[in-house]
Amino acid sequence: TSPVVIAIDGPSGSGKSSVSKAVAARLGLAYLDTGAMYRAATVWSMETADLADAAAVTAAVGVMPLVMGLDPEAPGVELDGRDVAEVIRTTEVTTNVSKVASNLDVRAELKRLQRAIIDQESGPAAVQSGGRGIVAEGRDITTVVAPDADVRVLLIASEEARLRRRSLEVHGAADASAVEATKDQVLRRDQDDAKVTQFLVAADGVVTVDSSDLDFEQTVDAVLAVVAQVT
C-alpha cells in the first residue's frame, strides 16, 4: 500500500497533539507537530531578532537551523543542535507565538518546510525506504499545507473541556484558579490564531471529530475509524 498522509487540525486544548501522536504510533507513521515549528520559530526570533520587527523576524526564520524529529514515540525539536523541546512550551513562548504565526512571510516559509517533510515521508523516497506515511497536525494542515491529504480531520472540543485539559497539562490541576490562569493561553490565543488560520469550522471534505465527551482512547479510536473509512 502507498504511504498515507493524515492531516489533523484543531484549537488549543482539543487534544490534537496527543491524539495525533497515538494515531501515528498505532499505524506506524511519522509524526509532524507544526505547532512546535511555530514555537521554535518564536524562540529563534526572540533570540536573534526583535519580535516587533516583522522583517527581522522573517529574515531570522529564513535561516533558522531547525531539525524536526518525526518519531511519534519521541518527537524532537532541535535549534542549531540544541534540544528545545522544553523551552518551546514555556509560558513566555506560548504568549508570543501567535504574533510570530501571524507574520505571513513566516507562514510561507514554514509551509515550505512542512510540505518538504510531508513529501519526503509520502513520496517516492518513502516508498523506497518502506515508509508508511505521516500524521501532520496544526491549525492549517487540512486547508493550506496539505489540502490534498488522504485523510483530513478537524478535532474540536467544548471550551470547558479545552480549558480543563490545558489546565491539567500546565498546572496539574483543574480548579477554578488554575482554569482562570489558562484562559489567556487557550482562548486569547485561539482568537488571535483564528485571524490567520481557519480551524474553528471544518472546511469542505474535512471530517469533524468532537472529543468533548470522549476520553483519550475513545478519541484516538474515533480518528482511527475515520482513517479506516477513507483508506
Detail the residues annotated as belonging to a binding site for ATP: 10-18
| Separation between Cα atoms, residue 138 and residue 12, nearest integer Å | 9
Q: Which is nearer to ligand C5P, 110 or 220 (CB)?
A: 110
* Contact positions vs ligand C5P (CB under 6 A): 12, 34-35, 38-39, 97-98, 101, 138-141, 189, 193, 197
Beta carbon of residue 185, minimum distance to ligand C5P (angstroms, whole number): 9
Query: The C-alpha cell of 78 is what?
Result: 532541535
Q: Which is nearer to ligand C5P, 116 or 125 (CB)?
A: 116
Q: Which is nearer to ligand C5P, 107 or 133 (CB)?
A: 107
What residue ranges in the chain does DSSP mark as E strands? 4-9, 30-33, 66-68, 77-79, 82-83, 133-138, 151-156, 207-210
Q: Which of 147, 47, 140 lies closest to 87, judged by CA?
A: 47
Beta carbon of residue 197, minimum distance to ligand C5P (angstroms, whole number): 5
| Separation between Cα atoms, residue 112 and residue 16, nearest integer Å | 22
Residues of the binding site: 10-18
Q: Say which residues have a Cβ less than 8 Å from residue 221's Cβ, sequence separation at least 6.
A: none
Beta carbon of residue 128, minimum distance to ligand C5P (angstroms, whole number): 28
Beta carbon of residue 165, minimum distance to ligand C5P (angstroms, whole number): 12
